[in-house]
Chains A and B, each alone.
Chain A
């Protein structure tokens, strides 16, 4: 198991969790924060592509 793969799975899990929490949160600010989590995780995924 290489390091980029491990980082990929962590970031992917983070993105999915963020996306689910974006829908489930009751408070709009919390939803917005979840959206930021998704975007940061996606930025990390793009960074992994080299």
Chain B
């Protein structure tokens, strides 16, 4: 035990970091899997369909079935491909999108118990130039798509790869320009400090001082946010900007020749970058983990319990009248679990340890709810908008988003200059 203690005292930080990376990887991959389920369900209901409902109750095991299918499919490699680059491309896409998650902070306070004397923060790393690193890593993501298109040795993937390179280079400019306003207002590149700069109140304390509405130290970044979100949808190759994989023109674009798990890697990369972009929207423009309500309203701290408890009860009710026996067994069990967690969080009003737990989850709760909202927004856009034409895509990128975001930078810089005068 003493040997372990001395080992941990010296290398504990590395062990802790590896544990955190493994944990985040497992969580993000699970969330990715259920994001596909969520997307199919929501889009289905928007189109008056039911969506996946055969595998497990409400189709909840559909992601597992999909994953197994990807693993067991034939791993076909077309003739004449550049083998090394062909295998490198999905690997690059996946690695870079997962790596960008490393700098995202999930909460301000470390866990209340230390790990062999090391503080457990809710982020893997928190560099002073977090935002720069994030943009650097996500910008490299274009290599995955472009190389996949080139290495496949086929017409459609090559065109998809070319389109995607052009699109990503065009929108990268507007994307980075639109966050300059936020950086000017917060005066830092560190993601945690950008959130802390938004922790006050604005409009006589009614609204939170989130960058999207706040006059604190600058100008409301509503225009910057719109530019950022549109450019970000284009960067992640999602509808309505999914021209690199426009199936009516290019079969499936850059991943036409990829099968089995190599295709799944592109898929996971796309969904992971959706999560990263949603987290970035939340952190830069919507105050990260800061609450929507004023601190002097302690009852708003029970919001997680207030949401979870009725939701759990509804899952029990819904499960009891489900069609299959399997569903009637499993759904009430899940519902009971959620109800118990919700009740425990509400019981924090009377019991000190539960109260502390409830206080601790406030910041992650707000951050994750906002991320979830933006993920829903992604799906919503997919269910609503048709794909742009290629010339429209380029017009929006170069003639609309770029000038508007530059104007936003100039206006914000002017306001920051006015405010900073002694």
Contacts and interface: CB of A to CB of B under 8 A. Distances in A.
A29 B85 contact: yes
B285 interface: no
A29 B150 contact: yes
Contact of B143 (A3, A30, A36): A36
B85 A33 contact: yes
A17 interface: no
Contact of B136 (A29, A33, A36, A43): A43
B254 to A, nearest CB: 15
A29 B143 contact: no
A47 B84 CA distance: 28
Nearest to A36: B143
Nearest to A33: B85
A46 to B, nearest CB: 11
Contacts of B140: 40
Interface in B1-30: 14
A43 B136 CA distance: 10
Nearest to B13: A3
Contacts of A40: 140
A24 to B, nearest CB: 14
Contacts of A36: 143
Nearest to B143: A36
B121 interface: no
A3 B223 CA distance: 43
Contacts of A29: 82, 85, 150
A26 to B, nearest CB: 12
Contacts of A3: 14
Interface of A: 3, 27, 29-30, 33, 36, 40, 43, 47
Q: Which 8 A-B pairs have the closest CB atoms?
A: A29-B150, A29-B85, A36-B143, A33-B85, A43-B136, A29-B82, A3-B14, A30-B85
Interface of B: 14, 82, 84-85, 88, 133, 136, 140, 143, 147, 150
14 contacts: A3-B14, A27-B82, A29-B82, A29-B85, A29-B150, A30-B84, A30-B85, A33-B85, A33-B88, A33-B147, A36-B143, A40-B140, A43-B136, A47-B133
Given A30-B84, A33-B88, A40-B140, 11 more contacts: A3-B14, A27-B82, A29-B82, A29-B85, A29-B150, A30-B85, A33-B85, A33-B147, A36-B143, A43-B136, A47-B133
